[in-house]
């Protein structure tokens, strides 16, 4: 059996995270993904979040984790001959993905209509901050800005200290996964009908989708989320983070039976019979007196002890962990999340990479190293019909 996307060829004009992680999903499953980069510069993310060990390859570890298995072609897209080369390559591709600011790729002469003229059946996907149309089309957007603009920050943080952005990149990664599903759908439709299409993905839409429960309540009942610290979206006083003797534990109580079990493990069973705390409405009304009782109980024992006892009682909980603790978890020995690969541009230096969050019974994701800048330029051009003399001229003229 072959991997799901073997034989599929994708032109990738994306940078940073939202686009590269999307196209990487296809490379992991066998697609040929041709990453087009600026000569001598490359993807912005290649020089972001560098550490000393990654500098020898010129490609940061986060960049490598977002571009596994791709081929790198360098081209100066501001020159007409480079655009002609792309159009030649596009004739042989099933899909094209770009995440320039809206309008940029059109000015380069590589918008959907231009590419469609040489390949009417291509699946063309644009990823941007706010979409290709409307008053914000073309506005520069990064994860943090979208967290602010979408309402995520206004509902994240402590009421005493104000809004807080997530320190990781939830909008970028979520947009990537949404893009990969949209592109997979476009490719499947092409397989069934023979027709290509244009796909428009916006980070802003993704950020709102991440808040779907809260947005549904606002649209239909006018409920506006407020800053609630580590409190669950349900607002339950018992679904929160609590300090223990040696750390913190996060508790999730969805049903009344979970609250009853929690109080029993904490040695506070009598509270469930108290009219002030016997149901969710009462507990919210009397949170000022309930919280100190919960805090005092949790502070009496360790995080590990609470997690063991609460899990046994059927209460969802987890230690608030740092990455060293996460990476060391035995659970990952039963998954395929981490894998050893060669560092970009080397054959003898091994690094570890994050692969993807699922396994398959057969022909699942196969991580391959991320490319060095321009590593495959000559091979890609030769496969497209360019001669050795052509390629030598391209290099002499700094086109590649």
Q: What is the C-alpha separation between 326 and 17, in angstroms, rounded?
A: 22
Apex 36 CA angle, 31 and 40, nearest 5: 140
Residue-level pLDDT at 78: 94
Q: What is the C-alpha separation between 339 and 337, in angstroms, rounded?
A: 7
Statement to judge: residues 119 and 52 lie in one domain: yes
Statement to judge: residues 314 and 165 lie in one domain: no
Give the DSSP H or E segment for 32: strand 32-37
Residue-level pLDDT at 126: 98
Indicate whether 218 belongs to any domain: no
pTM: 0.92
Residue 6's contacts (CB-CB under 8 Å, 6 or more residues apart) are 29, 30, 31
Instruction: Choose the final residue of a domain: 271, 294, 320.
Output: 320
Statement to judge: residues 111 and 260 lie in one domain: no
Indicate whether 351 belongs to any domain: yes
Statement to judge: residues 291 and 160 lie in one domain: no
Indicate whether 279 belongs to any domain: yes
Indicate whether 219 belongs to any domain: no
Closest by CA position to 345, among listed 42, 38, 14: 42
CA atoms within a 13 Å half-sphere pointing along the CA-CB vector of 202: 19
C-alpha distances out from residue 211 to 91, 192, 224, Å: 39, 33, 12
CATH number of the domain enclosing 56: 3.40.50.10540
Instruction: Choose the final residue of a domain: 260, 287, 320.
Output: 320
pLDDT single digits (tens) 202-227: 999 999 999 999 999 999 999 999 88
CATH number of the domain enclosing 293: 3.30.1540.10
Residue-level pLDDT at 1: 55
Statement to judge: residues 152 and 78 lie in one domain: yes
Count: domains in the chain: 2
Give the DSSP H or E segment for 280: helix 280-285
Indicate whether 377 belongs to any domain: yes
Statement to judge: residues 25 and 88 lie in one domain: yes
**Is residue 350 a contact partner of residue 378, using CB atoms and an 8 Å limit?**
no
Statement to judge: residues 201 and 73 lie in one domain: yes
Statement to judge: residues 187 and 87 lie in one domain: yes
Q: What is the C-alpha separation between 298 and 292, in angstroms, rounded?
A: 10
Statement to judge: residues 374 and 279 lie in one domain: no
Indicate whether 2 belongs to any domain: no
pLDDT single digits (tens) 258-287: 999 999 999 999 999 999 999 999 999 999
Please list the ranges in the chain whose pLDDT falls under 70.
1
Statement to judge: residues 257 and 363 lie in one domain: no
Which residue is listed with tokens 């480079």?
82
Q: DSSP H helical segments within 7-158, as ranges?
A: 18-28, 61-66, 80-90, 104-107, 112-118, 143-149
Q: Which residues of 196-235 are buried (b: 16+ CB within 10 A; e: fewer)?
A: bbbbbbbbbbbbbebbeebbeeeeeeeeebebbeebbeee
Statement to judge: residues 314 and 352 lie in one domain: no
The boundaries of the domain holding residue 276 are 241-320
DSSP assignment string, 120-180 = TT-EEEEEESS-SSSTTTT----HHHHHHHTTTGGGSEETTTEE---SS-HHHHHHHHHHH
Residue-level pLDDT at 230: 86
Instruction: Choose the final residue of a domain: 258, 285, 320.
Output: 320
Indicate whether 230 belongs to any domain: no
Residue-level pLDDT at 281: 94
Which residue is listed with tokens 């990064």?
142
Indicate whether 1 belongs to any domain: no
Statement to judge: residues 17 and 137 lie in one domain: yes
Q: What is the C-alpha separation between 361 and 204, in angstroms, rounded?
A: 35
């Amino acid at each position: 059996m072959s991997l799901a996307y073997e034989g599929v060829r994708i032109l990738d004009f994306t940078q940073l995270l939202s686009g590269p992680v999307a196209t990487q999903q296809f490379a992991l499953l066998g697609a040929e993904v041709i990453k087009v980069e600026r000569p001598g510069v490359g993807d912005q993310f290649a020089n972001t979040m560098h550490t000393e060990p990654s500098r020898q390859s010129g490609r940061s570890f986060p960049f490598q984790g977002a571009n596994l298995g791709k081929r790198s072609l360098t081209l100066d897209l501001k020159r007409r001959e480079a655009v002609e080369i792309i159009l030649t390559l596009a004739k042989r591709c099933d899909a094209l993905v770009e995440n320039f600011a809206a309008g940029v790729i059109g000015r380069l002469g590589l918008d959907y209509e231009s590419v469609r003229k040489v390949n009417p059946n291509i699946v063309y996907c644009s990823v941007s901050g706010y979409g290709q149309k409307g008053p914000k089309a073309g506005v520069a957007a990064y994860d943090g800005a979208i967290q602010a603009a979408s309402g995520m920050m206004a509902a994240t943080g402590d009421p005493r200290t104000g809004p807080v952005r997530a320190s990781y990149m939830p909008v970028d990664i979520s947009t990537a996964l949404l893009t990969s599903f949209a592109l997979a759908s476009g490719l499947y439709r092409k397989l069934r009908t023979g027709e290509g299409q244009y796909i428009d993905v916006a980070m802003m839409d993704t950020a709102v989708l991440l808040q779907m429960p809260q947005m549904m309540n606002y649209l239909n009942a006018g409920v506006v989320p407020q800053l609630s610290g580590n409190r669950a979206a349900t607002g339950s006083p018992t679904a929160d983070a609590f300090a223990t003797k040696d750390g913190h534990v996060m508790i999730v109580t969805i049903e009344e039976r979970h609250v009853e079990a929690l109080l029993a493990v904490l040695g506070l069973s009598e509270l469930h019979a108290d009219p002030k705390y016997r149901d969710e409405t009462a507990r919210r009304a009397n949170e000022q007196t309930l919280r100190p009782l919960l805090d005092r109980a949790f502070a009496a024992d360790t995080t590990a002890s609470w997690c063991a006892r609460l899990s046994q009682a059927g209460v969802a909980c987890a230690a608030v962990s740092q990455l060293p603790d996460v990476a060391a978890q035995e659970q990952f020995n039963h998954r395929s999340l981490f894998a050893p690969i060669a560092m970009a541009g080397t054959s003898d230096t091994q690094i570890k990479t994050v692969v993807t969050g699922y396994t398959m019974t057969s022909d699942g994701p196969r991580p391959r190293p991320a490319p060095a800048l321009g590593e495959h330029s000559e091979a890609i051009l030769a496969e497209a019909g360019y001669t050795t003399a052509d390629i030598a001229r391209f290099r002499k003229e700094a086109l590649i």
